[in-house]
Homo-oligomer: A and B are copies of this chain.
Amino acid sequence: MKTETVNDEKKTIKMKNYLQHISLDCVVFGFHSNQLKVLLLRMKNTGTWALPGGFVCEDESIEVAANRVLKERTGLDEIFLHQFNVFSDPQRSKHNPAVSDLILSGQTYPEKSWFDKRFISVGFYALVEFSQVEPQPDAFSDICEWINLENIGNLMLDHNHILQKALETLRMQLTFQPIGYNLLPEKFTLSELRKLYETILGKELDRRNFQRKILAYDILTRLEEVRLGVAHKAPVLYKFNLENYKRALDEGLQGRW
């Protein structure tokens, strides 16, 4: 197992097993109480919040490395995970304190120089079911938790920029691919799905038109079951029709020439 414990005496060797100059950062989106949340880490020494990230082992593809990182931070395997951009501004480590200062400040580890290298980072975004995640800090952070999108302040390095790009990508994806399977529990109401769309897009949608359009995609299965215990009329529950959902992922939803 590849832990990154700072006090691990074998770490120097392990650092050498990572590819130099290359890192990855993950924007993990979750949805809970009608709010879009992002999984963040608070760095031990500076208190700065940061995106979960990591490095690439010599025998890993970058996708495998991202899955490993997310498994460590969320406990989840087989996450919906897409690379969306490479961040390679030579100054990206220099707008803010260098990584080595942030994560190793006041300490003199042999790998300080390793962290001082310039890193080109591959950005991934992940969609996960909020309730299934068990946030785990890494060796350099003391807290790992969900932060509401609107409450996110200054992040480490260029992580605000990375987050912004991830959101743009997610919004674009929304216009030609179905979304929700990885963000909602198995059973959900159309209002919950609509609020997910509204939250990602940052604007309100007409309830009735949304219903008509999303049903027309034929990616939902209506259940013989309603959600009880909520105020007012009990809404019907739906689940995704996986077969059609995946077909829609492949074929796209609209805008064909």
Q: Which residues of A come within 8 Å of B, CB atoms?
A: 19-22, 56, 58-63, 83, 85-86, 88-90, 118, 120, 122, 172, 174-176, 197, 201, 205, 210, 252-257
Contact = CB atoms under 8 A, between A and B. Distances in A.
A73 B7 CA distance: 49
Contacts of A252: 172, 175
25 contacts: A19-B118, A20-B20, A21-B22, A56-B88, A58-B90, A58-B118, A59-B90, A60-B90, A61-B90, A62-B86, A62-B120, A63-B88, A174-B257, A175-B176, A175-B252, A175-B256, A175-B257, A176-B255, A197-B257, A201-B257, A210-B257, A253-B255, A254-B254, A254-B255, A255-B255
A57 to B, nearest CB: 9
A61 B83 contact: no
Nearest to A123: B86
Nearest to A117: B19
A253 B255 CA distance: 9
A22 B58 CA distance: 13
Nearest to A21: B19
Contacts of A120: 19, 22, 56, 62
